Amino acid sequence: MIIAKEKVIRHIKAGRALQSFLNLMDTLDDYAKLQAELETANEENKRLKEFARVVIRQECWSIFEQDGGDIQELAEKLGLIVPCVATEEDINDDCDCGVGDAIFKFSQALKGD
């Protein structure tokens, strides 16, 4: 009976060790996901800062008027807007376009909540 009891205790301890190990693995997975999200946020932040600096420099501090196309090209280059094809959902007072026209939309980094 004592031998059986010791075996049960060893199995319980092993089970706890396994559960602790599995919990640690879950924590490491969560950490890796958070690291990836942080890297994405840092990259988006970098692009937004560059865009803001250029727009402020060209629009606020320049004595010359800037072409809106230049700002659009910069936003596209930095991945802040993405080209797409207009759908029925895109047609509104802010969009001078028709279904099937080439338009730009905010990238995932700039989409509202």
pLDDT of the residue at 108: 85
Using the Cα atoms of residue 81, residue 86, residue 91 and residue 95 in order, give the sign of their dihedral.
Answer: positive
Share of residues in the chain with pLDDT > 70 (%): 82
pLDDT tens digits, one per residue of 32-42? 999 999 999 99
pLDDT for 5: 62
pLDDT tens, position by position, 41-52: 999 999 999 988
Query: Can you give the pTM of this predicted structure?
Result: 0.58
pLDDT in tens, 1-25: 556 667 666 766 767 777 777 788 8
Please write the tens of the pLDDT for every residue from 76-103: 998 888 999 989 888 887 777 888 999 8
**Could you state, in order of their start, the residue ranges of all structural domains in the chain?**
2-67, 80-113
Q: Around 32, how many Cα atoms within 13 Å sit in the side-chain half-sphere?
A: 6
Average pLDDT over residues 50-69: 77
Kindly give, in sequence order, each residue whose CB lies less than 8 Å from that of residue 104, ignoring residues fewer than 6 positions away. 72, 75, 76, 81, 82, 83, 84
